[in-house]
Chains A and B, each alone.
Chain A
Amino acid sequence: MIIGLDVGGTTIDTVAIENGKVVAFKKFERGRSLINSVLESLNQFVSKEMISNLERITLSTTVTTNAIVQNNLDKVGMIIENGIGANPEFLMCGDMNFFADGYINNRGIEAKPVNIESVKNALQSFKREGIEILGIVGKFSVRNPKHELAIYEAAKEYNFKFISVGYKLSGKLNFPRRVFSTYLNCAVYSTFNMFYKSILTFSQERKIPLEKIFIQKPDGGIVNLQDIENFPIFSILSGPAASAQGGFVLSNFAKNAIVIDIGGTTTDIAFLSDGNLVLEPYGAKIGKYPTLVRAIYSRSVGLGAESIVKIVDDTIKIGPETKRWHEQDKNEFATLHDVLQFSSSHPGSPVNARLKSLSSQLNMSQEDFCKLVISRAVAMIEEKMKEGIEYINNLPIYTINKLLYGEKFAPQKIILIGGPAQLLKPHLENELKIKVEVPKHYMVANAIGCAIGSISKEYNLVADTIQGKMVIPELNIYQSIPADFTIDQAKKVLIEKVLEYSEAKNKEDVEIVDEHSFNMIRSFKFCGRMIRIKAQLKPKFLNLRD
């Protein structure tokens, strides 16, 4: 038995899957306290029988995202080694920031040692100001974490409650994002800890071992609750990932498609290219911060079934306000759901009366009015779809072969999920002239996506034979290699390491997606190789059979 729980804008969706079949599902109202709502939903939904043969529970929650949006954050001190580049002022995201002197270059070579004495002074002043949480980030630290680790060692003496080092969050290059990711990882520490503890209580009360409780990450992967204690930032923005994955697993196989999840408040759009969900090239944007948190690339429109349709200055406006905001005067407005449900055969219904009052303001028949609203809504979705397609097709290309022979992303169909999917389907199909598929269980597809999870991951190996060093930042591997190390050896090592340290069971699960070996020439002589390889762990999904 696998249980999935997905917190949406208006509801908490739960689902139970057994032997590849959805055996139960339920939608709960989302209450004021998010943590309480999650616990209540879990308590109501998870029965004794479910626990008896439980494989796992996966939670996709917006607890940490909310903390960021509501600015409910911890005080953080940041030690930043910014080195050569832009003026670092814009990186001052912490409550106290210190710029350390030192530089690791792009090959991971120490160009200037870090000044530990001045760092110690900064740490002391952080403590004096009551800062208990510390972030440490250096430029090019994923190529060589020496300086971050030296600062970490020095900081240990000061008894901070929580310390996060930048290189552990992602293997990708992008220093500002590394700084912001580290900061946010620190800043949501207390919020996540509270959530963590309440889930801990739930697991103890219901006698569910903690090993069976997972969190969904924004890239669609799942991670055990215990493993993410030091990486609370990985619990953010999992909603779009859940729906993208849900749509993906429920639909008939597609190589290139768009997954659209129309909910109550928003519509999320994700992209399936060459059989994989497209990821953000660096990571998610959280609040105002771009980060290195691996995430599914999605576009969002403030448009859902409960979006209010109104007339402003003789033009139709849909959303982003929802019915919830106007609970009192329900008869004064219509929602997108009302419009989608409109039927001229029930002229007397209260829905039609409201639509009549709106349409008369524009001197239109109800029918024409509804048509117009729907085409406006479809256009809003279409705009974001096009934005995404254009974006994907403009991602940088670095090789001639790819430039000349690489395929452009062109979706074959739309996979439409979410409450009003059936109602929207014919309109999308008519207006966009593209096949639209509404899979079974479209109502709780996101909870299914969450329950199932995936293990798609990326690993980068950078080997430098002049230095005799190799790094795989994602696996925290920094080790020596011989001077005659070759690209074939590198590929072999990367696959072996991934198999050793990841969920992958056999070689076929690991795919080399990019490989380059550059001869390094100094004074016109060959003196070594720079090898760059990228491997991907192919996502594996449970097969839903019905």
Chain B
Amino acid sequence: MLKAKNSLGLILFPAFDWRISPTHPEREERLLYTIDQIEEEGLFDYENIKIYNPEMIESKYIEMTHFCIPAISSIVTVSHKIAAGSAITIAKKVLSKEVEKGFALIRPPGHHAHRITYGDKGFCIINNEAIMVEYLRKEYKIKKIAIIDTDCHHGDGTQDIFWNDKDVLFISLHQDGTTLYPGTGFTDEIGGPSAIGYTLNLPLPPYTSDEGFLYCLDNLIIPVLEEFKPDIIINSAGQDNHYSDPLTNMNFSAQGYAKLTEKLSPNISVLEGGYSIESALPYVNLGIIFALAGIDYSNIKEPDYNPEKLKQSQRITDYIKRLCEHVYSIWKSKEESEYKIKMANQDYYVRKKSIYYDTMGFRENQLEKIKICKKCSGLILIDSLCLGYRVLAIVIPHDACNDCENEGHKLFENTEVGDYSHILLQDKKSFELFRKTS
């Protein structure tokens, strides 16, 4: 039997019996051709490539990551629960050392789902990787986690959830927000007051090719990872940077994805977007799988692959070089910036957010307050207005000091439901959710 260099666990869950609507791009066909390609390639026959069936996620892990409004049961579908459950299953297999690496090829994706979620946003309702992170911290006591988001869209949901969390380094490479949904992910989005520099964004110009992506990897991501020293690396492996993707304008290829995966060497990859189901997904997925397993991928090329045609302009090359230098300087001066911000905001760090739910066509307005605390990352309070709901969300972070913890519980107890539809307290320290509703 064939054997790969690294043992690899795969979850291939196409959810053939689920779709949003008959012509929606996030649909059953997405993984059909990938499964064809994988089957024809005989990947099931490698003795150390194992295929697992997913599990359903327990609500507790969703609650510890999100505030689902009005309730988990009313917005989260079975397929979303299975997608998040897949991330957990694959994490278990990797952490128990049953396999060295894991890749969950699942749908629907999750990286646009924010901490507070009212429904479908960019095909996401709950955040698969973020839920996995909470699971890993709770069940495996893992401290330092890096999430590298290589989907073409900015991973705004993941960024939001770990915004003020120094233990989770979040780096997103994506097509520039001025030219693509969700319109965020600029270099000045660098994290909350206690985690400045632990969110890094690399907005790339349209038509960036393999060269540009790999440059970012070599000159920014890998050096930063070497300094951060994560216990685990997670790749939000979106595949819509592909030159044939209908929703985006990038020039990344299957070879590029494979090289990126090989260099990044994530412990776990989770499929995010990617809608060029026929011309890209089969080859890109195969490339990623081969790269993770340490199998020679040099013969995986799209039938119409033409590196000359995909070459990026000198202007793009120069821009990316400057971009990496700039973002690296953000990383380097993170302590200094944190000090400055904490000095300037003595009590609470406040920001206003307006979040657009593209699929459903409504907007959420948030006022987020993060307590400046010397002993921990700080209590988080969010006042959110959307669809006629008014939510007070209180987050006691997993590293909370006693003061912040007490303050959070007091605030929850002493706030009258009154104008609020929901008052919710997510206590990550005790792993419990408290709820008051009108």
Contact = CB atoms under 8 A, between A and B. Distances in A.
Interface of A: 82, 84-88, 90, 103, 105-107, 111-112, 139-140, 172-177, 281-282, 285, 290, 394, 396-401, 403-404, 516, 518-526, 530
Contacts of B39: 172-174
A112 B296 contact: no
A404 B78 contact: yes
B92 interface: no
A399 B300 contact: no
B303 A105 contact: yes
B33 A106 contact: yes
A174 B40 contact: yes
B299 A85 contact: yes
A176 B17 contact: no
Given A106-B40, A107-B33, A107-B278, A85 B286 contact: yes
26 contacts: A84-B299, A84-B300, A85-B37, A85-B300, A86-B295, A86-B296, A87-B296, A106-B37, A106-B40, A106-B282, A174-B39, A174-B44, A174-B45, A175-B40, A282-B44, A394-B52, A396-B12, A398-B15, A399-B15, A399-B16, A404-B78, A518-B27, A519-B23, A521-B29, A524-B246, A525-B23
Given A84-B303, A396-B12, A398-B16, A530 B32 contact: yes
Interface string B11-28: 011111110001101011
A521 B23 contact: yes
Contact of B27 (A88, A103, A521): A521
A112 B212 CA distance: 29
B23 A400 contact: no
A530 B296 contact: no
B388 interface: no
B418 interface: no
Report, as a range, how many residues of chain B touch the other chain.
35 or more
A176 B82 contact: no
Contacts of B42: 86, 174-177, 290
Nearest to A87: B296
A524 B53 contact: no
A254 B27 CA distance: 39
Contact of B22 (A400, A404, A519): A519
A166 to B, nearest CB: 12
B308 interface: no
A401 B13 CA distance: 12
Given A87-B296, A518-B29, A398 B45 contact: no
Contacts of A175: 40-42
Given A84-B303, A87-B299, A172-B39, 16 more contacts: A85-B286, A86-B42, A86-B299, A88-B299, A103-B303, A111-B303, A111-B304, A140-B40, A174-B42, A175-B40, A394-B52, A394-B53, A397-B53, A403-B13, A518-B27, A530-B29
A136 to B, nearest CB: 17
B45 A396 contact: no
A139 B295 CA distance: 19
A399 B33 contact: no
Contacts of A87: 296, 298-299
B74 to A, nearest CB: 19
Contacts of B286: 85
A158 B389 CA distance: 79
A525 B298 CA distance: 34
A139 B40 contact: yes
Contacts of B32: 518, 530
- Per DSSP, chain B at the interface is loop
Nearest to B13: A398
B28 A290 contact: no
Interface of B: 1-2, 12-18, 22-23, 25, 27-29, 32-33, 35-37, 39-42, 44-45, 51-54, 56, 78-79, 82, 246, 278, 282-283, 286, 290, 295-296, 298-304
Contacts of A525: 23
Given A174-B40, A398-B14, A398-B16, A526 B303 contact: no
Question: Lowest 10 CB-CB distances: which A-B pairs, in order?
Answer: A111-B303, A176-B42, A106-B36, A173-B39, A173-B40, A399-B17, A518-B29, A87-B296, A399-B16, A85-B41
Nearest to B21: A519
A394 B13 CA distance: 13
Nearest to A82: B299
Nearest to B299: A87
Nearest to A525: B23
A84 B283 contact: yes
Nearest to B29: A518
Contacts of B300: 84-86
A86 B51 CA distance: 19
Contacts of A397: 13, 53
Contacts of B16: 398-399, 516, 518
B224 to A, nearest CB: 33
Contacts of A400: 15, 17-18, 78-79, 82
Contacts of B304: 111
A105 B39 CA distance: 13
B44 A84 contact: no
Contact of B35 (A82, A90, A398): A398
Contact of A396 (B1, B53, B295): B53
A107 B42 CA distance: 17
Contacts of B33: 106-107
Contacts of B25: 521, 524
Nearest to B283: A84
Contacts of B51: 394, 396
B15 to A, nearest CB: 5
A526 B23 contact: yes
Nearest to B19: A519
A518 B14 CA distance: 12
A175 B56 CA distance: 33
A106 B1 CA distance: 24
| Residue with the greatest number of chain B CB neighbours at <10 A, chosen from A85, A87, A172, A177 | A85
A522 B25 CA distance: 9
Contacts of A172: 39
Contacts of B27: 518-519, 521
| Residue with the greatest number of chain A CB neighbours at <10 A, chosen from B40, B282, B299 | B40
Contacts of B28: 516, 518
A530 to B, nearest CB: 7
A518 B31 CA distance: 11
Nearest to A174: B42
A522 B40 CA distance: 24
| Residue with the greatest number of chain B CB neighbours at <10 A, chosen from A282, A401, A403 | A403
A519 B82 contact: no
Contacts of B2: 90, 176
B108 to A, nearest CB: 12
A84 B28 CA distance: 24
A90 B41 CA distance: 12
B209 to A, nearest CB: 20
B22 A526 contact: yes
Contacts of B23: 519, 521, 524-526
A176 B45 CA distance: 9
A396 B31 CA distance: 14
A88 B296 CA distance: 10
Nearest to A142: B40
B150 to A, nearest CB: 22
A392 B360 CA distance: 41
| Residue with the greatest number of chain A CB neighbours at <10 A, chosen from B22, B28, B298 | B28
B301 A84 contact: yes
B296 A519 contact: no
A140 to B, nearest CB: 6
Contact of A401 (B17, B36, B282): B17
